[in-house]
Structure 1
Amino acid sequence: MRMSSQLLAEKHIPSTQACLLHLVTLLAISRLILCQTVNSHCEYLVGAAPSGAPVPGLQLGSPFKIYTKAKVTEVTPGHPIQVTIGPFSQHLNFFNFTDFILYATPSNTANLEIEIFGGPNPHVGVFQLFDQWRAGAGGLNCNPRSRSEDSVGAFEERLLSIFKRYYPNNPMLMRYQPPARNQVSVLWWPTKEALAYPEIKFIANLKSMNNWFRIESTTWKVNRPVDQWANTERILTQYQAMQSNMRAMERRLDQPV
């Protein structure tokens, strides 16, 4: 029995070493893939090409909708907005989506200097995620000017496709299915940059039934209270300019003809 046990152990040594080597290789490739993904997941999910072309195969008839609600009726400092991607109706609640991105962007920039705020369609605000509502999604930082998570998304299906290219015959990868969800709910908080715009809307790109869909929320008006101190400074400046002009006129009148 002792000899047979020893032979059995020796027989499994090469197999164990091969498994460890395979695991180390897989971890190394995982790090490489994740590094590449960190630099490209925003471009992949948003689908923004230099020419502004939409995501290939983008569909408009989505079975999902963006729902928004808050305790206030406008985008207001210190008040979050609950943003939910969910079925368009109860009759469509059997649809799921895999990869997706959700972000807030200005709705009306016609009268603004876009260059000042970081280009067209910037991702503004910051998202707060809760484990019981985010359905496996994570925070993304897509705006170069932002220091916080200005977007929410998931890209498991893309990662799986990359792994399958490295291991086309791996049975585990062939059986694995990317996580699917039919609803995601998060909180969005306005930032100083978001409050600089007159209107905000929420946009989502999501992949369902192997097609990409783009959906938008209703527009939220930004509550920008008048800066009383700025108004006071402007009135004082105008008053001082008027006084200066009056004194100049008096000096000219006092001069002999």
Structure 2
Amino acid sequence: MRPEIRVLAVEDDPAARTLLEGLIPTLEGLSLCGVAADGWEGLEQIRQQRPDAVLLDLIMPGMDGLELLRLLRGEPYRPVVVVTSQISQPGVIRHVLSLGASYYLVKPLRFEVLPGLLRSLCLGPLERAAEEYLRKLGATGLGVEAAACAAAVLSQDPEERIALKEGYISAMTVQNTSYACVERNIRAMVGKLHQAGGEGYRALMGPLAEAGTRPSNEVFLRQLSRWLRTLE
């Protein structure tokens, strides 16, 4: 099964927090990893819990949603943020998105749309699944994280029209490195897996595992992205 998306709810209204606590765990593919009553508490929870997604109320006492978005731009870990607010003015929405929010929902929320929306926005669970799988195959080094990140991006398109470079760009951003380093680290990881020729690697690559030369990065990552799609 595809890993659950871990959600943090940042909401100052006690009744709304209670509603979120009750409903989010009932939505397919979602789990609630925490709730926060204001931006300061939300920032601390993000640092501690590292959620995949944050449902962020905009107007709160203390630190509001806008200030939390500004602070997150300087954080090493930045989850997907979906802002929720009764404010529907286009100018406010544009400003919120310019601060780094991934999506804007106008209250009252239609909770049934959240699983599909968050699946389309969150790669975190897929990256974790790919990384765990690679480590079970015996993979080590910086190429593991880079390959997991790239494969998660590629897995979003069953037609396989997403270019390999888009996956690399995502890995470059996560690792704060260059295209060449991502390419080299993945190549080294794939080379070691191919040389070891373990059972898991053979299952993933099929006949390609028996070839005399290691598969290209793209061939390997496409296979890994296809495996990720089986988790749906």
**TM tier relative to shorter chain:** under 0.3
Q: Which has the higher strand share?
A: 1
User: Normalised by the size of structure 1, how large is the TM-score?
Assistant: 0.25
User: Normalised by the size of structure 2, how large is the TM-score?
Assistant: 0.26
Between structure 1 and structure 2, the one with the greater Rg is 1
